[in-house]
């Protein structure tokens, strides 16, 4: 979890399967927390080999044939990352306070917290003895960023040995969780994409997720959620099993990168307001439930509720927006993801694609149907993955050979699930579509949606393989959030961190809409597409769905109108004018096609 008391007020969230796969090795020593995806154990094993050889650590390959290979690969990689970060930290603490040293960089990156103030006082201290005392204290205050991990709960493929299905604990999500649980990390597991009952129930098998006799929890649970109700339901489910949720990580439903979990028009501001007003109520309720469960399990109870953080991510672009979230909505820290795709010192994007990102426009970054999971997915139109996907279609062989299979879920044509992006599925589906009685309006929509599916579980690992020379001939997929079009400069770590804290400005679009209004506009476009699908008979939505969606958007606008003017500062007038225009856009979304059908 992010330490904001004496450190940074932001974290770098998980991005794809590869963009942050080794980010802790680049930023943790500077106190910046980040998140590793545990989806792709094949990539994880490749990364362990790369960093073992680079650091001189022994390496013995863990193959698919090895017992519990997925969990074992993850444990070994996380232990290696933790070991190397500790080594970096020891070297940083031992470095001298001279220009260019790691410890100087550590303190120069910090915002205006107590430790930074001591550092600045040390710089101007003239007494050598006092200066040495202050430097010794500063070394003790150095705290690494957390090495957190993420599981997308929907990616829980059952695995087989031949034709025999293996026990549930060998399914992808449970094996990945076990890999983290057996590691020596003292950090957080972040669950995204909603509740997975067997995964959440599995937590109880590992002691590190329960408080010890001193109330300390070695490994913490973080839930990524889009609204308060989801947090309460999932938090209660876990509390009934004695598991405490240490952080609720709120993400914009649409103004994010990668998979976008659109809500019923619940906007970020009103969602944060509900968390602000009901946080203590949630903690009290779950504390009672959790202690009751701990007692029943004959485990140590908690004498007081452990800290619970509320954090937020999705489309943040300026210091003012960041401060609004932390000061007005009282969130503990903020997640900055997409802008860090332009920071080679922190994330993995190969040279070809980082150039594409710097040149990207609104037309290049689009909310696609590319994900085989059927969840909207932000995509870069001219990425290697998208170009290769279209090439397969052009030569009459659509689909992927499905080299990894992490997204297999469909059983329309087979007993064993296959992926909708696979060549086998698309071949069968094209034939089925041709035999169906689709109207001229429906046919191209259905066909394009089916052919849009990309092999993202493999292609999302491409950028790091190209960048590090592990597999240079892959076709990477890139999934930035829409906020990327406001950042067009490749930045150093210092530049991006300084932008977050308002020391410099990295934005290239002076007319960039406020993050709240950008999210609102994205939801309006999303609702418009939903209505279009209904109008051609490709949606089973009820009129009540559209009415509720519109109402939630309009209530969100009313919430934003009531914000104190000082929060939006000198852009208040344009902020209000844009809200009026967006309100009119919502009103213009006619449902006549629904009521007359």
Model pLDDT for residues 234-248, shown as the tens digit of each residue: 999 999 999 999 999
pLDDT at 138: 98
Q: Which residue has the tokens 């979230």?
A: 325
Across 130-152, average pLDDT: 98
Backbone angles phi, psi at 205, to 5 degrees: -80, -5
> pLDDT band for position 570 (50/70/90)?
confident
- Distance from CA of residue 227 to its chain's centroid? 16
**Token digits of residue 259:** 């998979």
Across 156-160, average pLDDT: 94
Residue 304 has pLDDT above 70, yes or no: yes
Q: How far is CA 533 from CA 438, 468, 523, 528, 547, in A?
A: 13, 43, 15, 9, 16
Q: Give the strand pairing for 10-12 and 220-225.
A: unpaired
Model pLDDT for residues 163-207, shown as the tens digit of each residue: 899 999 999 999 999 999 999 999 999 999 999 999 999 999 999
Across 568-594, average pLDDT: 88
Residue 593 has pLDDT above 60, yes or no: no
Q: Is 13 exposed, middle or buried (0-12, 13-18, 19+ CB in 10 A)?
A: buried
Q: Which of 246, 380, 265, 260 is nearest to 315 (CA)?
A: 260
Q: Is 280 exposed, middle or buried (0-12, 13-18, 19+ CB in 10 A)?
A: exposed
Model pLDDT for residues 346-362, shown as the tens digit of each residue: 999 999 999 999 999 99
Across 284-309, average pLDDT: 97
pLDDT at 510: 83
Alpha-carbon distance of 34 to 85, in angstroms, equals: 13
Alpha-carbon distance of 116 to 95, in angstroms, equals: 17
Specify the long-range contacts of residues 46-49, CB closer than 8 Å, at least 24 apart: 46/465, 46/470, 46/471, 47/21, 47/22, 47/77, 47/464, 48/73, 48/76, 48/77, 48/80
pLDDT at 569: 86
Q: Which H or E element spans position 249?
A: strand 245-251
**Token digits of residue 190:** 């972040």
Residue 596 has pLDDT above 80, yes or no: no
Across 505-509, average pLDDT: 93
Residue 590 has pLDDT above 80, yes or no: no
Q: Which of 501, 392, 418, 486 is nearest to 7 (CA)?
A: 501
Residue 523 has pLDDT above 70, yes or no: yes
Residue 574 has pLDDT above 50, yes or no: yes
Across 218-239, average pLDDT: 98
Residue 3 has pLDDT above 70, yes or no: no
Q: Which of 120, 45, 108, 43 is nearest to 75 (CA)?
A: 45
> pLDDT band for position 416 (50/70/90)?
confident
Backbone angles phi, psi at 160, to 5 degrees: -125, 150
Residue 5 has pLDDT above 90, yes or no: no
Residue 597 has pLDDT above 50, yes or no: no
Alpha-carbon distance of 157 to 406, in angstroms, equals: 7
């Amino acid at each position: 979890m992010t330490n904001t008391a004496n450190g940074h007020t932001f974290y770098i969230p998980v991005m794809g399967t590869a963009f942050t796969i080794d980010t802790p090795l680049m930023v943790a020593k500077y106190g910046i927390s980040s998140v590793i995806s545990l989806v792709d154990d094949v990539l994880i094993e490749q990364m362990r080999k790369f960093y073992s050889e680079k650091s001189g650590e022994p390496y013995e390959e863990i193959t698919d044939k090895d017992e519990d290979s997925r969990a074992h690969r993850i444990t070994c990689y996380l232990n290696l990352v933790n070991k190397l970060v500790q080594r970096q930290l020891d070297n940083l603490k031992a470095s001298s306070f001279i220009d260019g040293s790691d410890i100087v960089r550590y303190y120069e990156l910090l915002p205006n917290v107590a430790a930074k103030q001591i550092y600045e006082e040390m710089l101007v201290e003239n007494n050598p003895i006092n200066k040495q005392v202050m430097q010794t204290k500063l070394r003790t205050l150095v705290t690494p960023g957390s090495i957190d991990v993420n599981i997308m709960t929907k990616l829980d493929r059952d695995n087989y040995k031949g034709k025999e299905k293996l026990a549930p604990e060998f399914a992808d999500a449970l094996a990945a969780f076990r890999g983290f649980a057996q590691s020596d990390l003292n950090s957080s597991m972040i669950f995204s994409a909603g509740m997975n009952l067997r995964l959440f129930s599995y937590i109880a098998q590992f002691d590190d997720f329960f408080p010890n006799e001193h109330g300390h929890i070695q490994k913490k649970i973080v839930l990524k959620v889009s609204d308060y109700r989801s947090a309460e339901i999932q938090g209660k489910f876990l509390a009934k099993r004695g598991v405490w949720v240490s952080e609720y990580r709120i993400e914009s439903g649409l103004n994010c990168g990668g998979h976008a979990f659109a809500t019923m028009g619940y906007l970020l501001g009103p969602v944060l307001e509900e968390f602000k007003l009901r946080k203590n109520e949630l903690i009290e309720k779950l504390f009672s439930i959790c202690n009751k469960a701990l007692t029943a399990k004959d485990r140590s109870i908690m004498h007081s509720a452990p800290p619970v953080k509320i954090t937020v991510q999705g489309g943040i672009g300026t210091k003012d927006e960041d401060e609004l979230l932390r000061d007005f909505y009282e969130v503990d820290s903020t997640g900055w993801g997409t802008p860090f795709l332009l920071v080679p010192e922190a994330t993995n994007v190969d040279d070809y694609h980082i150039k594409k990102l710097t040149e990207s426009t609104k037309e290049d970054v689009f909310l696609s149907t590319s994900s085989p999971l059927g969840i909207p997915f932000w995509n870069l139109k001219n990425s290697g993955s998208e170009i290769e996907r279209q090439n397969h279609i052009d030569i009459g062989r659509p689909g992927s050979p499905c080299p990894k299979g992490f997204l297999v879920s469909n059983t329309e044509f087979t007993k064993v699930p296959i992926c909708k992006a696979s060549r086998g599925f698309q071949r069968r589906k094209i034939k089925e579509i041709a035999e169906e009685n689709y109207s001229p309006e429906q046919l191209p929509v259905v066909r394009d949606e089916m052919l849009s599916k990309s092999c993202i579980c493999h292609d999302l690992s491409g950028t790091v393989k190209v960048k590090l020379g592990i597999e240079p001939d892959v076709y990477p997929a890139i999934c930035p959030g829409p906020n990327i079009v406001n950042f067009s400069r490749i930045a150093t770590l210092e530049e991006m961190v300084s932008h977050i804290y308002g020391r410099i400005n990295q934005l290239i679009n002076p007319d960039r809409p406020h993050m709240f209004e950008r999210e609102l506009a994205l939801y309006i476009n999303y609702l418009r597409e939903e209505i279009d699908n209904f109008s051609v008979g490709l949606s089973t939505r009820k009129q009540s769905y559209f009415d509720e969606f519109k109402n939630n958007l309009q209530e969100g606008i009313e919430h934003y109108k009531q914000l104190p003017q000082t929060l939006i500062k000198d852009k208040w007038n344009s902020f209000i004018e844009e809200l009026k225009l967006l309100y009119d856009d919502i009103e213009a979304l006619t449902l006549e096609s629904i009521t007359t059908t």
